[in-house]
Structure 1
Amino acid sequence: MLFLLPAVASAQQPATAPARDARPTQTGTAVIRGRVFAADTGKALRRARISVAAPELGGNGKTASTNADGRYEIKDLPAGRYTVTVTRSGYVQLRYGQRRPFETGKQLQVNDRQLVDNIDFHLPRVGVISGRVYDETGDPISSVRMMAMRQVFFEGRRRLVPVSGAIPTQTDDAGQYRIVGLTPGSYILRAETRETWTTTEKDVEVVMGYATTYFPGTTVVANARRIPLTVGQEAVNIDFSLVPGRTVTASGTAFDSQGRPLAGQQVMLTQEMRAPGGMMVMSASGGTAIAADGTFRLPNITPGEYTLNVRAAADIGGTIVQESASVPIVAND
């Protein structure tokens, strides 16, 4: 494969002009208060964090935390339309106007000198997926990266994306994992590890690894089994085995926009996942240096989808220009 860096990034960026017509933070006389409870037990929740935002606050917002009785109060608010959000570890985040996750919230109208009381929230518990991951012989595997994913409509089509808010996890020494922070919905479970080993086939040493595997033990997303979760549910015993495969080597050449070899620069191997909230980039290897003639070689890549990335500073007519390029690859055994 060939990297040819485009000369599109300039050496200097113009100074960012200060924001114009920014609204200063206002101080008022209104008050918002209420209580926060657990939806399943009705128990008052302490340490829940309530955040309010409105244009009149100048983008700063205000926050408060509940006391032992689950009560909160936010004072000195100017009149306006407020977005009120409540978060608490172990529970699903809610906004004012939502009765359940994924519903559209609404803004709270607050007038000057008004006491807006009884703005209460009943937070549902987050869901959990737990189980074990094994190798092809049934032995548990540690340090396997586990990720809950779901289908969303994004960039004009339905895509499988990582779940925002779920806490990343790895399997322990017994192969056990537990993914928490999940809202009600249907999930696809993804597992991956960079572990490799050497075996002999017909007197030839072959480096093996594990392909990205989806529950219940497939490398094909279309064959993955969905895991449904209701409010506060823990889906247990979601066990499966990783699929082994031969590693591959990626090789090619890399040049700058002037056709000069990028000698000494690094080619990095990453996995990139786009989602509505941004992009998740995970390093898949330590990278490799580009040789004097522009060639590079990355051995022992486990089966999966990756992106090769290279960045360099090129001297073009006495101006240092930052250049970069990326190439998607699929590693199949």
Structure 2
Amino acid sequence: MKDWWQATFPQGRQRLIITDTKGYPVHIAYGEKGTGKSLILLHGMGNWSYNWRYSIDPLSKHFRVICFDAKGFGFSEKPVFRREDNGHQVLELARIIQELCDEPPVIVAESLGALVSLSLAQEYPELVGRLVVVNVPIFAEKLPHWAMWILSQTPLELIQTIDSLRLAYFFAPLFREIMAIERRQVLFDPSVLTQEDIYWISYPFIEIPGTLVKVAEDLQIAAREIEHWQTQKPNMLSTIQKKLSNIECPTLVLWGEQDNWFPVTHGEKLYRCLPNAKLKILRNCRHDAAIGSAKEVNAAIVEFLAETSFL
């Protein structure tokens, strides 16, 4: 099967080195296509750049589109022997922008990536030109999926052992089938997910050791955040919520009307908390809007950026 990066980006998969929150150099995989003002596409939990496959080409007709895999995800480096600090993604996103962009880009982000982007807009407002967030876990009261909960409760040492034994690789057909079943559940029309999609979605988990460990680690951080929020202990989630009114850049909130992970009422609440925002509800759309409602998402982004004088 043809390499997705080579087929999608003129220069294929490129590599960027940033310093992470621990002070170590980390290799970040990314690709870019198009010219003009920069637009960054940021994936969510357990995904990688492939999840934006239906947006890269259409948006590259208007912008310099940059897709990257967050540390620990997809084809980026997975430092499995270093435990992460909460909020590490925010600083690392800031450093990626500083390396790749000469001026504040548009950030288009889904799910966990969107939560990271909201925090970035609060902590580093000078790095964000426009913001588009899709189905954000900003008011999440629990992890939305049973498998996430299991991974969040499993000792990382055990997951690391499972990962090092390459069990996903040896049971690849079964792993792909399970992942296909789960991914179809977040799509309004499950038939849009092809066998090629399933191959690439599961590829990092099967072929790149360390992927499962880093996903589990981020899930454990997320579970701890939600628990601290519920028990009113200091947590990053509450901090982001309290500072939403500080986000001044024009922001588009996109939300699937049938999102089965985070209800549309969360999107409406987020919209009311932001001082300079627009809300668009995506009809016939569940949580995975980047795939299930790609045409609507792309059109809404271009329209929003035209309205806010970014085109």
TM-score bin, normalised by smaller chain: under 0.3
TM-score, structure 2 as length reference: 0.22
TM-score, structure 1 as length reference: 0.21
Larger radius of gyration: 1
Higher relative contact order (CA 8 A, sep 6+): 2
Q: Which has the higher strand share?
A: 1
